Structure 1
Amino acid sequence: MKYLLLSIWCILLSLTATSQTPTSLQISGKIIDTVAQKPIGFATILLKNDKKIQVKSVVSAQDGSFTLTGLSAGNYSLVIVIVGYQTKTIPVVLSNTSKNLNQISLVSSPTQLKGITITGDRPLIKQEIDRISYDVKADPESKVNNVLEMMRKVPMLSVDGDNNIQLQGNSNYKILINGRPSGMVERNPKDILKSMPASSIERIEVITTPPAKYDGEGLAGIINIVTYKKADNGTNGTINVSERFPVGGPGIGGTFTAKTGKFGIATNAGASLDSSPQLTNSILRLTQESNPTKLFQTGTSDYSGKSGYVGAELSYEIDSLNLISGQINYNANSNESLSTQNSVLNNTTSMLQRYNLNNNSTGFGDGIDAALNYQLGFKKDKNKLLTFSYRYYQFSNHQFNNVEVFNPFAYTEPNYKQDNTGGSVEQTIQVDYVHPFKKVVMEAGIKAIFRDNSSDFEYLSLNSSGSYILDPLRTNVFDNQQNVYGVYNTYQFNLKKWGVKAGVRLEQTQIDANSSGTILDKNSLNLIPSISVNRKFKESSINFGFTSRIQRPGINQLNPFVDRSNPNFTSSGNPDLKPMKGHSIEMTYSRFKKLAVNISVRALRGTNIIMPSAITVGTVTQNSYANTGTATLVGLNLNLNYPFNSKLRGTLSAMANYGMVTAKINGVELENKGLMRRAFTSLTYRPTKTWQTTASVNYNGPNLSIQGTSNSFVFYSFSVNKDFLDNKLSLSFAANNAFNKYRDNIRYITGTGFTQENFSQNYQRNFTTSINYRFGRLKDSIKKNKKGINNNDVSQGTSL
């Protein structure tokens, strides 16, 4: 495999020899009004090559002059566009000298426009060949909600009672920011997305058939959050300030984009406080052995936390053939909570055990990633690109528990403290090459990821002299090194009404792990094909997709740290986990008339699935993970969007997945199957151009796992939005679950010889006020590298 990667690397490097230095040819001119003979400023000038592909754009100065520089010889079309004038196209032939077109006269349109009024609504959902996207900007509630709340509306996505995101009922996916991995969402996604105002993003894409250029991991697919559109000369930005009460807290976030000449920058940042009052919880566990027992625990907990993020993407266009770009992101969060617990264990005749405890818990963590890309173009065809990329990423999470025991009966454990630090460091090197032919675009690349997962945890017990002593049997240092080598080749072409993306990826994984002296050494080679086909009709389209995927476990699943914050229910990772494998096939129908319809059917088959497992040993239930599962998921997604009139629009989204799971836990074969369902509907009323109101209802059905299921719940909201200053300033108000103060979150678990019911109370009623301000003006778009590093290869979590 190493020799194969080295050979391909040499081939791609040799392609740089075909690139040539850019010439200094240019096209200049001056735009004037035909009748008034006065200059026309701020007209948009587009330059297209002989393949009708735009290669340059510029805006005329106030005196009507313009200059397009850095051009090579060839045949071009110059297109001039400005409101109030007829669009003009001029053929231009460049040989060995620059060309001055002198004065270019524009004829005014027969009907002068005082302004542009959009009478139709932007479509919320767009179907592409390999993905479906949700236009967040077109949703009025984006001005008052955070990104996590908006994900409840996105087709194929759902958010459970603990704010965990799922893609078609599956937690094995990857989140990207602007098509690239970001430390903002790799370490602790739900906290960051709760602090990110939805007004700072453009759209959310769900990629269920990822092309071979993406890493092979992510059984369910990829969620891509696009934070901004292409920026232009000048500046542009948004600022959002919100307050959520009686729970939640204040938040602030925004974006800023600027371009001046060849340099461009796009930033986004945000921070929020989050809090919850004291809530109740309970666990009921019944064992059905020769001596049946009943364990009943009741408790309370409160929570407060804060989180923040900042990110930037920079671009510098050296000339028309050379581009340097980079990105840097940083995020951090901290939290603290105080929980109490009363525990009583009985058999059929007497009390076996009792204790009370207090748990002071704190946690904090941070993550940073930085990337650098160099993109090389080619003189003969600027759509042919060679890109070299490097990325560094690291994160750490720290958890500390201080547990005090009171009123024990037949319980001998003293007070204790546990301290756990886990994290990951990785470096990635990647080379990508894009070569367009007449009707086919070929892409190829190689990649190497060097990842080091580690953890260090301690358990300290209180002794008779009042000192905390380290317990070596409950203390461990863990290190897991993963080296991933990949090579891919994809082809995309369009033929009349047909579009096809097809490719294959080959990945080799080398794992070397050490857990307290125990050495684990594993290697695997995976071939990952993918294909997407699109057939367009007059007002509709049909898509077909097939792909194979794998999923490597992350540090949270590998970490052997045993969490004993609840003495009767421990949880830990498993350092011996192996990657999961899966295949998916889907078909989608989209219709674009007044009633917009999107219907998709998908089947997913996974083997070697990492399943959470729970077994009871004595008085303790042990929770961990194992590669013992096989899962099949068959799902139907429906999305409807209908404008009843110019003021009222309705949407409906529904998802139904039938899941079948089998696994061996504690030597016993288990099977579970059932229907997982979700529905969302909303009505948006716009009585005037500046007022909007939206009412929505979100239903989440039970979520299936190998050993149980959860209860269903309903989330509903009402929002009002008022725009000022030509839609630059917005004031918004939202009421979420106004008539229900709490939501019950219940998880039912069945294991060998026991049944269990976990109950927790969530505070769901809140009211939000928000101020959103847009500023700036844009002209020419920032040039960004078209390739970069996408490490979508680590599991975000685990469930069917």
Structure 2
Amino acid sequence: MKLKYAIIQLAMISTVLLTQTIATFGQTVVNSRSNAVKADSLTKNDSIVGLEEVAITAGRPVILRKADRVIYDLKADPESKSNNVLTMMRKIPYLSVDGDDNLLMKGNSSFKVLINGKPSGSLEGNLKAVLKSIPASTIERIEVITTPPSKYDAEGLAGIINIITAKKINDGFNGSVNINESFPVGGPGIGGAFTAKSGRFGMSAFGGGGIDHSPKTFNRNKRIDATGTTLDQQGNQHSNNKTVYFGTELSYMIDTLNLLTAQVNYNGSLVNGYTAQASDLIESEGSLQRYIAENDNRATGYGTDAGLNYEMGFKSVKNRLLTFSYLFSTNLNDRRGSVAFGDRMNFTTPDFVQTDRQRFKEHTFQIDFVTPVKKLSIEAGIKGILRKNDSDFDYSQLNPISGWYQKDQAISNSFSNTQNVFSAYNSYRLNLSTWNINAGIRLEETIIRADFSSTTSVADQNYLNVIPSVAVGKGFKDGSSINFGFSQRIRRPGINRLNPYVDRSNPNYEVTGNPELKPVLLNDIQFGYGSNKKLAVNIGLNYSFMNNLDLQVLSFNPVTQITRITYANTGKSSSIGSNFNLGYPVTSIYNLNINGNATYLWLSGEDNGQPVNNDLLMYAVTLSNVVRLSHGWALNADLGLNSRNPTGLQGYTNGFFYSAFNFNKNIIKDKFSIGGGVKNPFTKYRNSVNTSFGPQFTQVNETRNYFRSFNISLNYNFGGLKDRISKIRGGIENNDLAR
């Protein structure tokens, strides 16, 4: 704990010294809130950014490039009016979506997602479902922060995705509503956004919900061990996922120097699923074991976060700001699976019910200070995150005599994990005529304690990380730019990887977490180039490496015929990759865009003491064709190709081809429109194949999913504005916890 107070004192001393230094420069410009609020709501001092921005498309730019990020304007893309946010992610530089609809950044699943520059507990553990339920037409833009400045927490190996739901707003009100339907997979949905301002009060809100229905499809799992014994499982599954979400920001301008804001976000979900599977364990002489399993599973969850921010300006120095912030987040998830067996042969496991109650709570306190010195902007701050994860899991077996389920104390338990993170940062941004430099350093001390209620087992971890970040950008007279970045990023394991709850819904497989996981540190070097000529170009190159990597590992026990799946700090990796986005106006009405990435990954580790390598070339490419016709018509045709991706140290998925055709028609310009389309019209089903391997086994899991779907949506915009809402330009951004 002494180290924690030393870090806090260091940040406070640094802030005082910076203030005294600035005073010697005699900066006496009077601050005006009416001028201050013209800065970007997500950047403390955009007035000094200058030439770091490069527009990459003609007309209203769809992509904007900065030294540390790229920005995608969804409002400038007509396809956003007929798709959800997850689908639109395929078109955004550095992002891709795999065959299971998991969002990837630079081919990596470890990143942090913010809403309007702030963390949202409502997204934790349910990101895919929420992004599927949000109509893209209700989102303003998406920022992909590839080299996060030191003011951001160091969590998220690939970087940060920031979803902006509302533009800068004025006196009056405006909003949008979207109603959509997708079939045979998917379902109905509704979403909307609203902004209003009256005098000193302002608000912005977004919300909605949807149903994601997956009809019954086929699945098969086949495992062959070193002796030739084969486990063959075949069956079917279907599921229904209901999601609702809501978020709001409120602001009150006390006077020209003092601003108070608050935010509240909520997300709820209900998942009902069913799986039926016939299992047969076979050797050369015939069946060794056989059974049929039916699994009814239900999962409910919700996440809530509420925050309060106070920003104070100074009359003596324009754009000098002091911000105090507090954020409370909670996330609750309950899982229940009921498994019944039939047609038994040499199989004695009784019917059972397993439950898991996860609870997550977090308190965050933060102080930020920013001040200008001529062309230099200096930032410093301190932060404390007090986080607690709990899991209470039960396993109950059916007593055939009494007909009651009895709790098995031997494999039921409760787990508690507290994780406190204390940090301080200091960063500098310098803007010259053609150069923009952003450099800083962040200190993060993490204190972890994990224990079980039924045992004396305790896991303690304390570690300190010194995290540098440098981003350099240079603009040229022809509108092109280059940028260079170096950063270190960290992944602390979340409750999904730590939780020791064992999922036994398939008796031949056990899936569990590892409470002794340690954090992973990544070193990343990046280079980027952008040009806004007729051929718009946005290219990025990066090299990264990390050790002690926490990977999914599989171990097979030939005696019990059970494969155990968990996580372990067993691997190391390095990768070299490229990201590219090219846009070209073929004619006055036809625009062509290619977005993609390619990475070669070297991955190695151990399985039961034996070396394992899983080196892969990964790529994802989307070709987008946009035709804007007269009378408000717009047509889109997208073609995509994804390679196989690793699932851990010992596995990979298969690749796939993706296609989509959409239309949008403005009925009333800028007010009412209708959109729709078809995804994968030439392929009704897609077989998702997951291959795993180890020294003693090979395994192939195949799931057939509906691939073809149709969708239609209605969009309505309303209201009018006169003057912008004031927003806190600092505030809490908890991007320190891994997904």
TM range (shorter): over 0.9
State the alpha-carbon separation in 1 of the partners of residues 371 and 143 from structure 2.
26
Cα offset for 1:184?
Answer: 2.9
Counterpart residue number, 1:285: 223
Measure the CA separation in 2 of the matches of 1:712 and 1:173.
Answer: 22
SS of 1:170's partner is coil
- Verify: 1:491 aligned to 2:491, yes or no: no
- Which of 638, 645, 653 aligns to 2:595? It is 653
Q: Distance in 2 between matches of 1:211 and 1:689?
A: 45
2:641 corresponds, among 687, 691, 699, to: 699
Which runs of structure 2 are paired with 1:328-347 in the superposition (5 Å)? 328-347=264-283
Match of 1:218 among 141, 152, 156: 156
- Residue 555 of structure 1 deviates from its aligned partner by 0.4
Distance, in Å, in 2 between the alignment partners of 1:666 and 1:147 is 42
Identify if the C-alpha distance between structure 1 residues 15 and 382 changes in structure 2 by more than 3 Å, giving closer, same or farther.
farther
**Residue range with higher mean Cα deviation, 561-570 or 125-134:** 125-134
1:326-371 per-residue CA deviation (whole Å, 9 max, x = no partner) reads 1000110001111101000111222111100111111110010000
Shift of residue 139, structure 1, vs aligned partner: 1.1
Q: What SS does the aligned partner of 2:487 have?
A: strand
Q: What is the Cα-based RMSD across aligned positions, in Å? A: 1.9
Question: In the alignment, is residue 312 of structure 1 matched against residue 254 of structure 2?
Answer: no
Q: Distance in 1 between matches of 2:303 and 2:638?
A: 35
CA offset digits 1:37-82 (Å, max 9, x no partner): xxxxxxxxxxxx7999971799xxxxxxxxxxxxxxxxxxxxxxxx
State the partner residue of 1:593.
Answer: 533
**8 A contact 1:548–1:583 mirrored in 2:** yes
- Give the 3 Å change call, closer, same or farther, for CA 383–344 of structure 1 in structure 2: same
Of residues 524-533 and 49-58 in structure 1, the stretch that sits farther from structure 2 once superposed is 49-58
Match of 1:626 in 2: 568
How big is the shift at 1:13?
A: 9.1
C-alpha distance in structure 2 between counterparts of 1:482 and 1:336, whole Å: 32
Deviation at 1:4, TM superposition (A): 2.1
Shift of 1:120: 5.2
Structure-1 separation of matches of 2:715 and 2:577: 38
Matched letter for residue 679 of structure 2? N
Q: 1:401 offset after TM fit, Å?
A: 0.6
2:547 partner letter: T
Does residue 1:161 correspond to 2:99, yes or no? yes
Task: Within 5 Å, give how 1:49-64 maps onto structure 2.
Answer: 55=35
* C-alpha deviation, 1:548, in angstroms: 0.6
What CA distance in whole angstroms lies between the structure 2 residues aligned with 1:791 and 1:458? 32
Q: Work out which of the two has the higher radius of gyration on C-alpha atoms and give 1 or 2.
A: 1
Deviation readout 1:285-316 (Å, 9 max, x if unpaired): 0101xx32111100100111210001100111
Higher relative contact order (CA closer than 8 Å, sequence separation 6+): 2
Displacement of 1:253 in angstroms is: 0.3
Flag structure 1 segments of 5+ consecutive residues without an equivalent.
19-48, 59-118
Distance (whole Å) between structure 2 residues aligned to residue 709 and residue 306 of structure 1: 29
Alignment of 1:371-450 (within 5 A): 371-450=307-386
Establish whether residue 461 from structure 1 lines up as the match of residue 397 from structure 2.
yes
Whether the 8 Å contact between 1:423 and 1:555 is mirrored in structure 2 is no
Rounded to whole Å, the distance in 2 between the matches of 1:665 and 1:427 is: 38
Kept in 2, the 8 Å contact 1:631–1:662? The answer is: yes
- Matched residues in 1 for 2:393 and 2:17: separation? 49
Name the structure 2 match of 1:3: 5
Paired with 2:278 and 2:529, the residues of 1 have a C-alpha distance of: 54
Separation in structure 2 between the aligned mates of residue 7 and residue 575 of structure 1, nearest angstrom: 32
- Letter in structure 1 aligned against 2:526: E
The amino acid of 1:476's aligned partner reads: N
Taking only the aligned residue pairs, the percentage that are identical comes to 45
Aligned AA (2:675): S
| Aligned residue runs from structure 1 range 174-573, under 5 A | 174-288=112-226, 291-465=227-401, 466-515=403-452, 516-517=454-455, 518-538=457-477, 539-573=479-513
Contact preservation (8 Å) 2:467, 2:489: yes
2:666 and 2:386 map into 1 onto residues whose CA distance is 49
Quick one: distance in 2 between partners of 1:361 and 1:721? 39
How far 1:672 sits from its partner (Å)? 1.5
Alignment-mate amino acid for residue 733 of structure 2: N
The amino acid that maps onto 1:2 is K
Structure 2: distance between partners of 1:382 and 1:272: 45
1:591-629 deviations in whole A, cap 9, x for unaligned? 111110011101111122110001111310000000111
Once residues 601 and 711 of structure 1 are traced to their aligned partners in structure 2, the CA distance between those partners, rounded to angstroms, is 25
For residue 769 of structure 1, what is the aligned residue in structure 2? 712
SS at 1:560 equivalent: coil
The alignment partner of 1:152 has SS state of helix
Structure 1 distance, partners of 2:731, 2:37, is: 24
Residue in 1 that maps onto 2:26: none
CA distance in 1, matches of 2:516, 2:564: 17
Alignment match, 1:130: 68
* Partner Cα distance (1:158, 1:455) in 2: 32
Question: Structure 1: how far apart are the matches of 2:263 and 2:222?
Answer: 49
SS at match of 2:100: coil
Residues in 2 aligned to 1:532 and 1:189: alpha-carbon distance in whole angstroms: 29
C-alpha distance in 1, partners of 2:296/2:177?
A: 36
Whole-angstrom distance in 2 between the partners of 1:134 and 1:354: 53
Q: What amino acid maps onto 1:520 in structure 2? A: A
Q: Distance in 2 between matches of 1:52 and 1:452?
A: 41
Contact 1:175 1:224 in 2 (8 A): yes
After superposition, give the CA deviation of every residue in 1:697-751 in whole Å (9 maximum; x if it has no partner): 1111110242122111111111111102222101111111112111110011111
Q: In structure 1, what is the equivalent of residue 674 of structure 2?
A: 731
**Counterpart Cα distance in 2 of 1:53 and 1:264:** 15
- In the superposition, the TM-score normalised over structure 1's length comes to 0.86
What's the CA shift string for 1:560-600, capped at 9, x where partnerless? 00000000011000000111111000100111111100111
- The residue that corresponds to 2:50 in the other structure is none
Query: For the residues of structure 1 that align with 2:474 and 2:506, how far apart are their CA atoms?
Result: 55
Deviates more, 1:698-707 or 1:567-576: 698-707
Paired letter, 1:219: L
CA distance in 2, matches of 1:686, 1:311: 33
Q: Per-residue deviation at 1:267?
A: 0.2
Using the TM superposition, name which of 133-142 and 449-458 deviates more. Answer: 133-142
CA contact (8 A) 1:690 1:727 kept: no
Cα distance, 1:11 vs. partner? Answer: 5.0
Give 1:266 deviation, angstroms: 0.4
State the shift of 1:17 in Å.
Answer: 11
Distance 1:251 1:170, change over 3 A: same
Distance 2:244 2:592 in 1: 35
Q: Which residue of 1 aligns with 2:25?
A: none
Residue 124 of structure 1 deviates from its aligned partner by 2.1
- CA-to-aligned-CA distance 1:94-131 (integer Å, 9 cap, x gap): xxxxxxxxxxxxxxxxxxxxxxxxx9532222211101
Q: Distance in 2 between matches of 1:588 and 1:439?
A: 24
> Could you tell me which of 511, 521, 526 is aligned with 1:581?
521
> How far apart, CA to CA, are the structure 2 residues paired with 1:56 and 1:151?
32
1:615 equivalent in alignment to 2:555: yes
Distance 1:607 1:451, change over 3 A: same
Give, in whole Å, the separation in 1 of the partners of 2:312 and 2:92: 36
* In 2, Cα distance between equivalents of 1:631 and 1:458: 37
Report the equivalent of 1:745.
688
The amino acid across from 1:267 in the alignment is A
Deviations 1:166-188, CA, capped at 9 Å, x for gaps = 11111111111111101232231
Superposed displacement of residue 159, structure 1: 1.1
